[in-house]
Structure 1
Amino acid sequence: MTTTNPLLDVNDLRVTFPGRGFRARPTEVLHGVSLTIDQGETLGLVGESGSGKTTIGRAVLGLVKPSGGTITFDGRDITHATPKERRVLARDIQVVFQDPYTSLNPSLTIGDILSEPLIVQGATARDARTRVRTLLDQVGLPADATERLPREFSGGQRQRVAIARALAPEPRLIVCDEPVSALDLSTQARVLDLFLDIQRRTGVAYLFITHDLAVVRHVSHRVSVLYRGDNVETGPADTVTSTPEHPYTRKLLLASPVADPTEQERRRTERRRLAALAAGESDAGQA
């Protein structure tokens, strides 16, 4: 039986931030998190604000320096990759940020925004223009978008431009950091379907970071749940988002709003029960 190494392997990752103020103690925000992503797979990374999920994405991108553990991409240790090595890695690892309104340079046309990373990596201006036309078609934007500025587009269209920019160097992994949280619900659905369609056509893998279990259920093959810097549950998306094992994951699921008032009230009651149990366990531990 042959085994295939994962595309991304994060093992026992720790990140520590310096304290604020004189003699302030440093704070460890990730306490030995491990996760893997296979070729063409989507791993949903879910947790509330402050859980450390974005820090994991930034560590993979080289924007945060790990204090322990390893990050391996395609069998190569990139934990402490140099800036030169990171520029090469940018061909294979890209990112889509949360806010489509600030992630695009407002003074550049869409054509320049999409051409720039291609030209930096050695493409000719002619080849870049051809690739840009292909990218716009992939994300469902008209060809004349190349001559327009970001402010001329809606939020959903801007996020499509951001996705096209991430696809430009034909990466193998895209870190998606809350890529639909700034969009309205109908636009969210269209952008999520676009992510799925692109994955089917290109085989790209996603690390999909979000706080919304409904979103990860829609796009993910597997889900990892992060709580206060620890990975508390990992499993198939259908299982984790419908019958979770960990109490924190159950609380996240119960916090998701539903249209049925009766079901919503049942969820509130169950959340209160879990909170009371957690408070009782905490008191018992202190005693």
Structure 2
Amino acid sequence: MPTLKANDLYLTYGDGYIFDGLSIAIDSGQPPVGLIGPSGVGKTTLIAALSGQLKVPRGTVTFDGRPVNRLRLKSKSEFNARVRAVSQYSMTVSDPRLTADRRLRDAKKIARRGGRSHATLVEDMLIAVGMDPEAGYRPMLTLSGGERQRVALATALATRPEILLLDEPLTALDPHSRGAMARHLGDLIAQLGIGVLLASHDLELVERLCPTVHAMADGTIVASGALSEILSDPENESLKELAAAAPLAVQRFR
């Protein structure tokens, strides 16, 4: 099974470090891996580096043993289809004419260029994320934030990826819909055998989907394991603050 791996990443911002020797690996076909940490710690930046959108000056990001930032032409197209990211900014829409149908058809083109074409209908892709297929023909600007997030997930899944990088994927959904979508997403991930890195402040979502969680602070991974173990008696000051900010959630995990 292919592995997406960051090894010994270093990245500075001002006088501090965003990455200070950070290493992490996500394996296709394995249960989802969670990523937690305080706001501004660099979780979104890490996903940008893992997806090849950001080149880090020191350290390497590899997929299937090959450096991501050195991929060219066909190999890059294959990577873009095999590794997909859903960021918290995926809901941004600049073209008022853009529809979910168009967005998903564009994703199918990426799949074809990456050698992962398939005959799944756009309507079926929308149904897979709990959307009415008729919504596919409405302009994205008329969709709710939750509907746009569902479209972003469907777009990422449209290439049948082996690795999925999720950055706050369900924040725009109401609590009831978030719970239902979390269950549905967990089933989809297991069914498709996708390796997942889930970065989120939603501790309940992380706990529900991820048996293994990495805690990020001070530019690196400071703790790994089950979420209940990480937050039960954290040593790192940032993790203490994170646990203190969600006492009810932490109590439920114990």
TM-score, length of structure 1 as denominator length = 0.75
- C-alpha separation between the residues in 1 aligned to 2:7 and 2:73? 22
Secondary structure class of the residue paired with 2:248: coil
Letter in 1 for 2:171: S
The yes-or-no answer on 1:148 pairing with 2:112 is no
Residue aligning to 2:47: 57
The yes-or-no answer on 1:35 pairing with 2:24 is yes
* TM-aligned CA deviation for residue 243 of structure 1: 5.0
The yes-or-no answer on 1:213 pairing with 2:241 is no
* TM-aligned CA deviation for residue 100 of structure 1: 5.4
Q: Percent identity?
A: 34
Larger Rg: 1
The yes-or-no answer on 1:256 pairing with 2:246 is yes
Residue aligning to 1:114: 104
The yes-or-no answer on 1:165 pairing with 2:155 is yes
The yes-or-no answer on 1:178 pairing with 2:168 is yes
Residue aligning to 2:179: 189
The yes-or-no answer on 1:10 pairing with 2:10 is no
* TM-aligned CA deviation for residue 49 of structure 1: 1.5
Aligned pair partner of 2:38 in 33, 48, 56: 48
- C-alpha separation between the residues in 2 aligned to 1:97 and 1:104? 16
* TM-aligned CA deviation for residue 150 of structure 1: 1.8
The yes-or-no answer on 1:93 pairing with 2:93 is no
- C-alpha separation between the residues in 1 aligned to 2:93 and 2:48? 15
- C-alpha separation between the residues in 1 aligned to 2:9 and 2:73? 20
TM-score, length of structure 2 as denominator length = 0.84
CA separation of 1:128 and 1:9: change in aligned 2, threshold 3 A? closer
Residue aligning to 1:275: none
Secondary structure class of the residue paired with 1:90: helix
- C-alpha separation between the residues in 2 aligned to 1:67 and 1:230? 16
Q: How many residues align?
A: 246
Q: Deviations over 1:63-101 (max 9, x none)?
A: 211121121212222244347643321111111121454
* TM-aligned CA deviation for residue 143 of structure 1: 2.5
Secondary structure class of the residue paired with 1:258: helix
Q: Contact between 2:93 and 2:140, CA under 8 Å: does it hold in 1? A: no
Asked which structure has the greater RCO (Cα within 8 Å, sep 6+), the reply is 2
* TM-aligned CA deviation for residue 225 of structure 1: 0.8
The two structures, once aligned, show a CA RMSD in angstroms of 2.7
Residue aligning to 1:270: none
CA separation of 1:143 and 1:180: change in aligned 2, threshold 3 A? closer
* TM-aligned CA deviation for residue 185 of structure 1: 2.3
Structure 2 residue ranges without an equivalent (≥5): none
